[in-house]
Structure 1
Amino acid sequence: MTTDENKAIDAFERLGLTSYEAKVFIALHRLGSGTARDVARIADVPRSQVYSVAESLADRGLLEVQQSSPIRYRPVSLEEARATLEARFERERERAFDYVDAVKSASTGQEAREDIWTIRGRDRVADRVVDLCRGADERIVFGTRLPELVTDSIKTTLEQQVTAGRTVVVVSRTDDVRDRLGALEGVTVESPPGHRVDDQRSGRIVLVDDDSILLSVVDDDGSETAIWSANSLFASVLIQLVEASDEVRS
């Protein structure tokens, strides 16, 4: 069995077929049609197992059975098989997510509104920054000292929020950051009133309205870790503390 065939079998398994079902289905497409003996000859499936596997594939709508002696099998076209598996995937997906949605709706309402969340990895932190900024109703404060932490998605989101009428303030002591985001029409750029010249760990800070915050640090290896909280009392209090300390002004 080739590497490509192994990968195809693995893919069929992820689509819900068993290993034997995938092997029989592939073998029948090689043959065009055939008996259990024909299939067993070219597929790594015992002949005694081919019958039950073929019956299962027939129940799934992936092959047809000719009631002859011996019984012959013929696979449906690739287009029909693809449509059948896609339809099944959609049904299973809807069944799974409908159940989760029902469980969520039936919860006690004790959602983690006061929770502080931790995320790791620059891409994940950037995605969270974008999500928080998109949820702004009035104001966004975004700060960083590192130009590489100003992703295109963050820049686009800030620009869109300005257009939507939100107040956007960028705080940075770094010229590259100030120039890049300051070029966006409607964005106000400010320098932090005070900072440590030896700061090599701060990453990003995001304040959204008065109830959402994200703070990140950059590790020695360049990785980023952030804590964030949204629509919570904790976030409101922390924002007040940050602004009162004059580290960020809006």
Structure 2
Amino acid sequence: MKLAAHITFFHSPERLPYLLKVIEELLKIDENIDIYIYTNKRFTISSKENMHYKIFNYRKFKFARFLKNSLVDKLGIKWLVHPFYLAWENRRFIEELVDEYDVQLYLEDDIEFKKENFDYWLKYKELALKNDFNLGFLRIEKDKNNRSLLTDVNWPLKDLIELEEQKFLINDLNPYCGFWIYDRKELKDFTKSPEWQFNFTGYGVRAKAAVGWHGVNMNRYKSTIIPLVQSNGTLSTHPGSSVHHLPNNYIGKGRYCTLEFPLKLPAV
């Protein structure tokens, strides 16, 4: 299986540790994964920063120029483009590469996508897709007591669906999770959709890049669903469905991070 990951990184020394952690976990999925970094400032990830990273094959890292469109580039007025549009740069490259990989994913630079997340996706994605559902993930943050708290879902999810004797929890509240992952067929269809060209509303510039094809009010999927596992008379969201938002910076801010992961329901 040939994999590619695309990461937007607006250069900041303070955020570099998050990027390195994201890359570290991707390499655990497959040491041959191709990683494309889209940045506003060319930089080098060297073994001097962290000896663990001497395993990197630097030829795998490719840097795109920061431009919103060719006119802006030709006129030399890139400074007029809001930096958030850097998150849109990857799509012209992904479209060119769509036939070269079995699986591609796009991540914000602080979303920790681990091997257990990939294994979870492989296990359930076909069942979800053939029934026109999106297999969901839940972004979490860790508090000072190491509790896992939901970043984006701030109201209990209760609606269930069963597919081939597997129970799923429906997330129509907020399916955003800071990244997306699709196999070749699904991605090819995505690139032909209006949403690929960002023709949808309800999200900011950066979130538009990361929401993928499963945002609220999009029509590709019936719903976003998360498999449930049963233990001791309780149904819980699958552990592989959680991805860590590394900065933990939503904790204590308004409605965010009020529910614990995993979400639990009485077994039925």
| TM-score normalised over the length of structure 2 | 0.24
Q: Which of these two proteins has the greater Rg computed from alpha carbons?
A: 1
Which one has the bigger strand percentage? 2
Looking at both structures, which has the greater relative contact order when contacts are Cα pairs under 8 Å and sequence separation is at least 6? 2
Which one has the bigger helix percentage? 1
| TM-score normalised over the length of structure 1 | 0.26
